[in-house]
Chain A
C-alpha cells in the first residue's frame, strides 16, 4: 500500500535532489568559484550563500530573439523596451528557467572539502618527534545492537540462515531482531609527520587591492585546506614591506598596504623563526610567498642567497608572483610592453632546485591552478 500523497513530500525530496545535483555542478565549476568574493570574505564557520542558476534541462528550442504579443498604445516601429538581459526589468520578463537564480547555502567546510580534496602537502616526511594527526573512521567490528543505517546485510542473512538451519528449516526468511547484525566503527588516528607552514605576503605600496586580494585568497584557501586536512599544522604569518613582522592570523587578512619592497627582510625573519621554532630535523616546513615581484634591485642577491639557505631547511618553498597588467608596479608596467620576467622571479629562477616552485598569476581565476601546482601530492624520494 503506497503512502497517501499527502505524506510523501515528494516535492521536498526532489528539490533536495535538485540541490544535490547543483552541488555536483559546483564541484565541476570549482575554478570559477574559488575566487568568489562572497566566500573569501565570510568568516570561517559560516555557511556560504552562492547564487546559482537553476540547472538547465536541455531540449531542442528556438534560438530566435524574443517576439510576442503585447498590448497598449504605440505605433509599429516604436521602441518599447530592451531585450531581457542581466538585470533591469525594462524588457519582457525572461520566461526561460535558465535565467532564474536562487541561493544555495553550502557550509564552508563542505565547500573546502569539495575544492581541496585532491590536494596534499607535498614531500611530507616522517620526522622523529611530535606527530601531525588526522582522523579517519573505519568499520572494525560487528555487534547485535546498533544504528539501522549501519546494518550489515550479509551477516544478518547469514545469522538468519544459521538460526533457521538450527530449527531445521533450510531457507532464508522470518528475519527477527536476533538476526540483525550491525557494523560498528572506530575512530582511528592517522599519523602524519609534523608540518609548519609559513605564509609570507608582500604588503608594499605596489600591491594594489586586487593583487592583495589574490594573495589573500590563496592564503585563505591554504589555511582552510590545512585546517581541514591536518589536525595539527603550525601556521606562521609574516607580512613585509621593507621590514617584516610576524602577525596574528586575523591581522594578516586585514592588512593594508604601504611602503617599499624588500623581500629579503621576510626571508630573513622566516629563517630565524624556523630555526628557533621548527628545526628541520623534526619538522616539515613549507614556505609560501606572494609578491608582485617589484623588489628593490639591490635586494635581489640577498634574496637569492636567503632562499638558497631556506631550501636546505624547508621541505618546499613556493613563490607566487602576481602580475597584473597595471601601472602600479614597475614590472607590471613593463610586462605590458614586453614579456619580461620580473626581477625577483627571474632571480629565483636561477636557483635550480626541485623543491622551489615558482608560478606567475595574472588572473584571480587562475587561483585554483596555483593551489594545484603548490599542493600536488608528491612522494619524497628519500635522500
Chain B
C-alpha cells in the first residue's frame, strides 16, 4: 500500500518534469536515523566526533526537541531513510521531498563532479581506516583524523579533487604565435620568451591546505591515505553545504506541488499534510531564518514573478521553466544575490543583526545584540557570510622558507580568528609539517599579528 503510493508520487514527479536517479527507501528506527545523520553517510569510518554528535542528537531526540524526518544521500542509485514511527502520510510527504532533493543532486551544476558512488567508496574508506587502526592503534589514527577534520574545509573546490604536484623548476621556452596585424608594428616572425616555472614554492597562494600537506609534508603512506580519505569526503559534501537553502527550498516546493496534484489522499490525511508542511517551512526564530522557509519563499516568488513577466511577453520562460533553470545553475550565493529582492526582504521582515559596539574592555559582560540594517544588500551579505569558503576563515599557504611554512589569513581585513582555536589548529599543522608553522592574521583591533607553532 505504502509502496504503491510512493510509486504513484514518483510517477507524478516524473510527469511534472523532475528527473532523478533511481531512489530506494529504507524505513528505519529512530536510533539508526540519528546514527546515519550523525555520520552523514551510513557506511563512514568511525571517529569519536561522530559519537559526540550522535550522543547529543539522541539526547535532543529523546527530550523531544528535535526529530530527524528524512535523510537522503547523493548517490546513484540514491538512498533515502524514512522513520518507522512516522505516519504514512508523513513518510509520503518525506518521499515527495526526497524526489525533489534527488532531482537537485542529479541536475544542479555544482553536483556534476560529485562522486555518485560515495556510499560504496565510504565502505572501503572505513575498511582501510579500520586496517590502520589495527596496525597503528586507535590513538594514533584517531589523532591523525582529528588533524584531518580540523583542516577538512580548507580545500579548493575549483581545482577539484585530483591534482598534479607543482611543476619542478625548469626553464620553459614560450613562443608567441604570429598575430594577423604583427607586421604593422614589428618585423614579422615569432618572438620567443623564456619563463622559469616552479621557481617559487608554492608557485601561487595555495587554498587547498589539506592537499598541500598530503603532497608535501613528510608523512607516511598510510597517513597520506587517511588525510586523503577525509579530503575526498569533504569534497563530496561541499556542494550540499553550498546549496542548503536552494536545495531545501526546491524539495519543499516539490512536496507541496506534488501533493497539490496527488489525489489519493483522505481529508484527514490532507489536514495532517498541511500541518506537517507548515512545520517544515516554518519561518524560524527571531534570530535565525529556517533555510527551508527562505528557499521555499524565494522559489515561490520567482515562479510568480516570471509567470507575470511571461504573460506580459517580457520573458520567454514561464515561472516553472525559470525554476528549473535556477535549480540547474545557481548555488546559495548566486541564488540569494540574484533572487532575494528588496520586496521579498520587506515581506519577510528580514533584518541583519550584530553585536553593539560596546567598549571592548569589559570582556566578561555580554554584549547587546542590535539590529544593524534593514537594507537588502546588507541582509544578503549577512546571510552569505557563513557560506563563503566552506564556512571557514580563508587561509592559504603563502610561502616556504627554510622548511618553515608560512600561512596567511586572507580575509583578515574583515574578520579575526578565535585565538585559542587558531593556536591548537596551527599546532596540528606543525605536527604534520614537522617544522615551525606561521600564520599571518590579525588581532581583535585589526592589527596584523603572526602566530607560530613548532612541532
Contacts and interface: CB of A to CB of B under 8 A. Distances in A.
A-B pairs, top 9 by smallest CB distance, nearest first, are A14-B51, A15-B51, A65-B355, A92-B287, A67-B354, A11-B35, A11-B54, A58-B424, A63-B418
Contacts of A55: 48, 52
Contacts of B366: 82-85, 91
Interface string A44-68: 0000000000111111111111111
Contacts of B28: 6
A138 to B, nearest CB: 25
Nearest to B385: A67
A367 B285 CA distance: 46
Contact of A10 (B39, B283, B285): B39
Contacts of A74: 351, 371
8 contacts: A15-B58, A16-B51, A55-B48, A59-B425, A60-B395, A69-B379, A93-B287, A102-B55
A254 interface: no
A10 B56 contact: no
Contact of B351 (A2, A54, A69): A69
A83 B369 contact: yes
B370 interface: yes
A72 interface: yes
Contacts of B352: 67-69
Contact of A82 (B368, B392, B417): B368
A354 interface: no
A81 interface: yes
B57 to A, nearest CB: 9
B154 interface: yes
A22 to B, nearest CB: 9
Contacts of A143: none
Interface of A: 2, 5-6, 10-18, 21, 54-85, 91-93, 97, 100, 102
Nearest to B123: A2
Interface residues of B, number: 76
B382 A69 contact: yes
B371 A5 contact: no
Given A64-B416, A83-B366, A11 B48 contact: no
B383 interface: yes
Contacts of A65: 354-355, 367
Interface stretch (B103-111, B145-153, B185-193): B145-153
Nearest to A59: B150
A223 B368 CA distance: 49
Given A63-B418, A81-B287, 9 more contacts: A15-B55, A58-B150, A62-B417, A66-B369, A69-B353, A70-B350, A80-B369, A82-B366, A93-B287
B311 interface: no
A65 B385 CA distance: 13
B428 interface: yes
A55 B382 CA distance: 29
A61 B48 contact: no
A69 B369 CA distance: 12
B453 to A, nearest CB: 12
B127 A91 contact: no
Interface string B256-283: 0000000000000000000000000001
B32 A6 contact: yes
Contacts of B289: 69-71
B50 interface: yes
A320 B334 CA distance: 69
Contacts of B355: 65-67, 83
B185 to A, nearest CB: 51
B371 A75 contact: yes
A26 to B, nearest CB: 15
Given A82-B366, A91-B369, A11 B151 contact: no
A3 to B, nearest CB: 11
A5 B349 contact: no
B48 to A, nearest CB: 4
A16 B185 CA distance: 76
Contact of B422 (A60, A66, A78, A84): A60
Contacts of A10: 35, 39, 46, 50
A68 B353 contact: yes
A104 to B, nearest CB: 10
B284 A71 contact: yes
A59 B153 contact: yes
